Structure 1
Amino acid sequence: PSFDKVVPPSFLELGVAELVAIYSELCELGSPPPVIDADDLQRDPEAVLSGLCEDLGIPFQPQMLKWKAGPRDFDGIWAPWWYESVHTSTGFSKSRRYPMTFPFAFYDLLEQSLPFYNMLKRQVRRTTGSLLPPPPDPPLPVPENKKILVWVGDELLPRDSARVSVFDSVVQGGDAVWEGLRIYDGKVFKLEEHLDRLFDSTKAMAFSNVPSRDWIKDAIFKTLNANGMFNNAHIRLTLTRGKK
């Protein structure tokens, strides 16, 4: 929203794809740059700046937390448009407790930009103190499943990207049917019987737009082949009513 006060926003103008490209290139060169989050900086500027200085190999100075109000000679020609609030500030302001109302005219732009933002968000430097790190992932019963491909909707996705919508019926009300299948010696044990029972369940639950038997079998076989699972493997086949 603040960007729109100066320039009509576009994906190109926001530059998030270029930031990801720069970050990736530096990582390939063996020098991943530190990434900080503006909300973290406002919440605890001393901790974030101290950590940033440590990463950059420069000393932290308390003067970094305060400054005199007013413009600077090195602000550049865009200062009158971009730096109005900076020129009136003398330090880091607290972040908003509640976000601003989102201008939904930019909803498509948000969807386009968010994956790039999240890629950088995952690289944010975590500091000690008031900034708590995310909780660790729980241990997996089968560690080998940490890197698997999962069929969601109509595509295979890496484990961490395999998600269903919060508006899906299975999330909203546990509205789904499922079957557990076993694979032995390259074959799915009693596949046809499992599919018969699955389709009986969809009829009992009055599901509509149910994929065909051939489509489901194709998805199963593609998933097994992609993961190299041909023996002593287990599949959880789940169908939901879809998004509400």
Structure 2
Amino acid sequence: MGRWAAAVFAVRERLPMWVQLRCGLEPKTLAALAVILVAAAVFAGMHFWSARPEGVRAPDMVGEAVHAPAPEADAETEPEGSGRPEPSPGPAAGAGGQIVVDVSGKVRNPGLRRLPSGARVDDALTAAGGARPGADLAGLNRARVLMDGEQLVVGAPPVPVPLPGGPVGEGAGAGPVSLSTATAEQLEGLPGVGPVLAQHIVDYRTQHGGFRSVDELREVNGIGTRRFADLRPLVRP
């Protein structure tokens, strides 16, 4: 009991005076008070431990590969039926994949004809009822692909133009059409040249001061390789 009495005395000496007076300095009271103080200390310690700040882990960095778009499938490995449209080169077409051509001259039913894109001269002749009897089709390329807005003159004679240095009017020899002096109406007499294309030729020579060579005709809007080959022997600068 010596150690217990010494411990009780030590605790009593450290208690405030009002506690000593209130509790009457009894050993049992001091022991109960000590237990309460210890329990309070334990509770405070637990509360402090649970309220301590905890470290938060930063989120992982999202790689660029997650947001990068998936690479397009190679054309050679793309499965059939994928729905990717294939480019289809061809003449310019109007609305709905059709072209409008003006068929005139020696045909049974001249006028405007709507044909599918990629139609040829022979298709236009068929749509116009065919050529009239006696119409000369020797200079007409019936396999040529038509362009939208083109005028097709069937069986028209060559356009008479004055030769260099020759007289104007009757007696003037017929020859190649001059690209630098012919009117739009004269240019329309050429195979495959309609009002729109004839105006393009006139606009080009106005902007460039005429034609210095027949090869410049290829720079006119609407003159492709096939059409240039048809017009080359029929025109001059």
* TM-score w.r.t. length of structure 1: 0.20
From the CA coordinates, give the structure whose radius of gyration is larger. 2
Query: Could you say which structure has the higher helix fraction?
Result: 1
